[in-house]
Structure 1
Amino acid sequence: MKKLVLKNDWIGDHPIIRIEFPYDFELKQLVRQFHGSNWDTGMKVWWVKYSDSRLSEMLQFFKGKAWLDYSELKKATIPQEKIKIILPDLSSEKIKAIQCFEDWLRNKRYSENTIKTYRDAISVFLRFFENKRIEEIENSDLEKFNTAYILANAYSSSYQNQFVNAIKLFFLNRKGEKFNPENIYRPKREKALPNVLSKEEVKKILDSISNIKHKSMISLIYACGLRRSELLNIQLNDIDPNRKLLFIKQSKGKKDRVVPISDKLIELLRANYKSERPKVYLFEGEKIGSKYTGSSLQQVLKQAIKKAKIKKPVTLHWLRHSYATHLLESGTDLRYIQELLGHNSSRTTEIYTHVSKKKISEIRSPFDDL
């Protein structure tokens, strides 16, 4: 009988039960059917909210279907430090203010992803100050929030920057209050280098995929340096096979750009079209005319990495980083790479010079001259 391992964990301030098992389609479908089960794309794990009665519910549901190993599952108690940062519900006044903020962002033509990110950030910020009306919040309160919420939870500087962006816009939209958005400081960003695969590793991943649709998706991400959302939004008329061009429309920052596609890639995409017969999007989900989901695409890559026996936590974005680095190593001018990736600033693209094997290997150490 197939086995599920149950473990304690936390999501934010809430205790959960992790449900761990090697990938198995039938087992995944079974876990999905359990009431209250969720998939966390960040942790890459199935989970349910913890409660004292949850184990007995799971034992009853999975009886005769799967064996539950709960030897590592303990009774959850909320630590004192977590009790202090459990946030209350929003007041009706604050809910209305957030709704107005959402409407303002929508009128400014912000993307729905950005609106959701900013809405969630503002919701957390205002919930933190449960006893303060919006008009009473001051700049010094942001420092309290950073210390007692962001730093206390060990969130990253990029996550903190999301809050800064959201808070600044929210208070710019509200005039005549104590909070001055112009005085907001930003945390220093972490200067992490991009993760890059070798060409041999990329080939291993692609060679491990037999499904033509899956192979086409992963190949296109690497061959054109696409973001996940860019791939999923490609429509049939975005490809010009005669001119060998791919048009990427309204991507990050609402920008359009064009990237070249090779004959080899066009043949692969034609084979996919003949096999799948999509109607609207180049890669469609189970429902005709609907986009393929990001979580399913990540799962495709996960299985390919496993088959290729690559022991690295590869994500889809690693393929974009690898594309840029391999272009740089082959001698492509950095300005062209910037255009192909859709970067606003050349400084963003310059980070690939730090991981380019060719450029680094050309540097001669002064030790060799001694």
Structure 2
Amino acid sequence: MTHLSVTHPLPLERLQLNSEFDGTFGSNRNSGNGLLINAQNDLEALNSWLEEFKDSPQTYRNYRKEIERLLLWSLLVLNKPFSSLNRDDLRAYEQFLASPTPAAQWCGPRRPRHSKEWRPFLGPLSETSRHQALVVIGAAFGYLSDAGYLLGNPVKLLRRKRAKSTNNNTVERFLEQELWSHVWSFIEELPEKSLREREHKARIRFLFHLLYLLGPRVSEVANLQMSDFRETRGKWWCYILGKGNKREKVPVNNSMLLALIDYRRFLDLSDLPTADEHTPVLRSLKGNRGVSSNMIYRIVKKLFNQTADSLEIQKREQAFKLRKASTHWMRHTAMTHLADIGVDLHHLRQTARHNDINTTSRYLHADEERWHKSVGKHKI
């Protein structure tokens, strides 16, 4: 079916487009040689880009959401393929994001992607969300241009305003020390009466040791193997396979090493892993299988929500923040707390495994503290 027969937008995987709308004759298509991806139409090209993020499920879903929305808008509103979009179209799309209309067609409550009630939007997007949408779309167009599928990236022609910010570009999606202490106390107080409860608590404790002491991304935790913990010259390191398929080491301190030993003892394993122990670090409760990124994300979200429930009455603001938190907040929390205790910026960058030290500097909040303290001297 063509998009013209669709009353409401459909998820990416359910779209079937004929040559008029699949980008075969897109005005921005590169008809020459040099195609670096196996893509004959827009859907194949966009899926090629999305495949680059399959090892990071949360990023994949966010990027798919943004590119899916634009594609559907292009088809249903402009009646043109994705590969015919130009600079003026994208400016119009940015305005559409502020008020997706007609609302009944575009907006609705969260529903499974297979549901007839599924819609691309929950409602209008804020200025910050619109800015982020264009950043993601620009990345997609850049990839397809570099791959030789498109002639150019129309997002580059947009005069972009920086999203409004009051935090001087520092990371704000982290748990303050007090809030983190509440989370850890909640973990320590989890019940241990049944075997199932003991298994759940052992895994939760170890997972949060990993997240807080090593600062990995959720996909990196899912891919971590016991053999990735190695001893070199009397020091233990964890070799994490991260972005760009690069394996980089981070220090394993005594607290992390003891947590590893405790978890392995619970699993009836020897205290320390061997170099040929190519088994998942984090195990399912049903056996020796590993745990997926999506499952890790859900485990962390559930724990945060349970902790928030326990704080709701006495610490309402902290409970509200915790409900917004996700797995990646733990990475930000780990790096922020390392910066707070004075870890050198160079070593902080190595631990975070950032290519750009400017990315790492977002975790430095000490100057904010001094700034606030100095202004506090100003009195009436």
Q: Is the 8 A contact 2:220 2:240 kept in 1?
A: yes
Say whether residues 1:299 and 2:302 are aligned partners. yes
Structure 2 partner of 1:323: 334
TM-score by length of 1: 0.63
User: Shift of residue 120 of structure 1?
Assistant: 5.0
Residue 18 of structure 2: aligned partner: 92
Name 1:163's counterpart in structure 2: 137
Q: Which has the higher contact order (CA 8 A, sep 6+)?
A: 2
The equivalent residue for 1:334 is 345
Deviations, residues 98-143 of structure 1 (Å, cap 9, x unaligned): 343157548xx83325666555544432321222245643221111
Q: CA deviation at 1:283?
A: 0.7
SS in 2 for 1:257: strand
SS state at 1:247 partner: strand
Q: 1:343 to 1:362 in 2, by over 3 A?
A: farther
Native 8 Å contact 2:203 2:263 kept in 1: yes
Q: Give the deviation of 1:240 after TM superposition.
A: 1.9
Q: Which letter does structure 2 place at the counterpart of 1:268?
A: A
Structure 2 match to 1:235:
225
Q: Deviations over 1:283-341 (max 9, x none)?
A: 12235323251212321343345457763322233333332232223222112112211
Which of 74, 87, 101 is the equivalent residue of 1:129?
Answer: 74
Structure-2 separation of matches of 1:322 and 1:255: 23
Structure 2 equivalent of residue 148 of structure 1: 96
Contact 1:235 1:282 in 2 (8 A): yes
The answer for the alignment partner of 1:206 in structure 2 is 184
Q: What are the equivalent positions in structure 2 for 1:1-370 lying under 5 Å apart?
A: 87=9, 91-93=17-19, 94=22, 97-102=41-46, 104-105=48-49, 110-112=52-54, 113=56, 118=63, 120-130=65-75, 131-134=79-82, 136-149=84-97, 152=100, 153-155=124-126, 156=129, 157-173=131-147, 180=154, 182-191=156-165, 192=167, 193-209=171-187, 210=190, 211-240=201-230, 243-249=235-241, 251-276=242-267, 280-285=279-284, 286=286, 288-292=288-292, 293=295, 294-307=297-310, 311-312=318-319, 313-314=321-322, 315=325, 316-354=327-365, 359-360=370-371, 363=374, 367=378
> Root-mean-square deviation (CA), in Å?
3.6
Is the strand fraction higher in 1 or 2? 1
- Corresponding residue number in structure 1 for 2:273: none
Residues 325 and 352, structure 1, Cα contact 8 Å, conserved in 2: yes
Alignment-derived partner of residue 63 in structure 1: none
Structure 2 letter corresponding to 1:101: A
Q: Which residue of 2 aligns with 1:11?
A: none
Which ranges of 4 or more aligned residues in structure 1 deviate by more than 6 Å?
none
| Structure 1 counterpart of 2:34 | none
Assess if the C-alpha contact under 8 Å between 2:214 and 2:250 holds in 1: yes
Q: Is the 8 A contact 2:91 2:158 kept in 1?
A: no
8 A contact 1:257–1:342 mirrored in 2? yes
Could you tell me whether the CA contact under 8 Å between 1:218 and 1:301 is conserved in 2?
A: no
Alpha-carbon distance in structure 2 between the residues aligned to 1:358 and 1:178: 45
Equivalent residue number for residue 31 of structure 1: none
- Structure 2 counterpart of 1:276, which letter? L
Query: Contact 1:329 / 1:359 at 8 angstroms: preserved in 2?
Result: no
Q: Is the 8 A contact 2:239 2:247 kept in 1?
A: yes
CA distance in structure 1 between the aligned counterparts of 2:63 and 2:186, rounded to whole angstroms: 39
Amino acid across the alignment from 2:236:
K
Give per-residue Cα distances to partners, 1:30-68, cap 9 Å, x unaligned: xxxxxxxxxxxxxxxxxxxxxxxxxxxxxxxxxxxxxxx
Q: Distance in 2 between matches of 1:186 and 1:277?
A: 56
Q: Write the letter of the residue equivalent to 1:264.
A: S
Secondary structure in structure 2 of the residue aligned to 1:284? coil
User: Over residues 234-276 of structure 1, what are the superposed CA-to-partner deviations in whole Å (9 max), with x where a residue is unaligned?
Assistant: 2111112552211111x23444322212223212211112223
DSSP 3-state at the match of 2:364: helix
8 Å contact from structure 2 (residues 283, 291) kept in 1: yes
Unaligned runs of 5+ in 2: 1-6, 24-39, 101-123, 191-200, 270-277
TM-score (norm 2): 0.61
Unaligned runs of 5+ residues in structure 1 are: 1-84
Contact 2:281-2:290 within 8 A present in 1 as well: no
